[in-house]
Amino acid sequence: MRPISFKRHRFPPAVILQAVRWYFRFTLSLCDVEELMAECGIEVSRETIRCWVIKVGPLIAANLRRGRPSPTRRWHLDEAVVKIGVRRIYLWQAVDDEGEVLDVVVQKRRNKHAALKLLRRLLRNTGIHPEEIVTDKLASYRTAMKVLHLQGRHRPGGMRDNNRAENSHLMIRRRERKQQRFESQGSAQRFLSTLGPIYNPFNLQPHLISRPGLRILRAHAEAAWAAATQAI
């Protein structure tokens, strides 16, 4: 973990980290975070919060990514369409079979080259080779798997087979609506690259576990957040 520097900031680190946490942890806009800070007696503008999010958010995400255990070897890949202005942009996302977001790549195309970019990033960043890769029946995946010699591990299926990846789009859809769509392809990529690692520790699925188990997992999530947000 790399400590985060808060030099030359007027507000203390605890305030900055709380604002950044609210913004990424919950479906809130910058205006919502500004109002919550005002409720706590802290007067800060949404532009200041936006600067904190841009500067501190990726540093926290990088620390959380370093501290997370290796993903499972069964991956689910899927792509979703969003509109940025008048253009259709594709969000290529990969999760493992426990719902851990592995990567999100925002691309203009829905072809072999886009699928290759996602797969190469996954192999490089995770450092492991999956045992099985579940996708929908898009032909781009099949041709990309052949290039990377992964066709023996590829399992194309229907929407039901790839529910894990389909469900992972829900958090992105909620944020897209709250932000009244993304402003550009670059801003969408920056935001989603930060959102995924922060979302992962707190994605506990409480409806599937007991209350004692939930308390343990929440304690682990809080410990991961504390380790990732150590200040200099």
pLDDT digits (tens, 9 = 90+) for 62-112: 999 988 888 889 999 998 888 887 888 999 999 998 888 999 999 999 999
pTM across the whole model:
0.89
Q: How much of the chain is in helix, strand and coil states, percent to nearest 5?
A: 55, 15, 30
76 burial via Cβ count (<10 Å: 0-12, 13-18, 19+) = buried
**Taking 90 as the threshold, does the pLDDT of residue 117 lie above it?**
yes
If you ran DSSP here, which 8-state letter would residue 231 be given?
B
**Taking 80 as the threshold, does the pLDDT of residue 160 lie above it?**
no
Stretch 204-229: mean pLDDT = 90
Query: CA 232 to CA 112: how far, in whole Å?
Result: 44
Return the amino acid letter for 225.
W
Structural domains of the chain ordered from first start: 13-67+204-228 (no CATH), 74-182 (3.30.420.10)
Of 113-127, 151-165, 174-188, 191-205, which range is least confident? 151-165
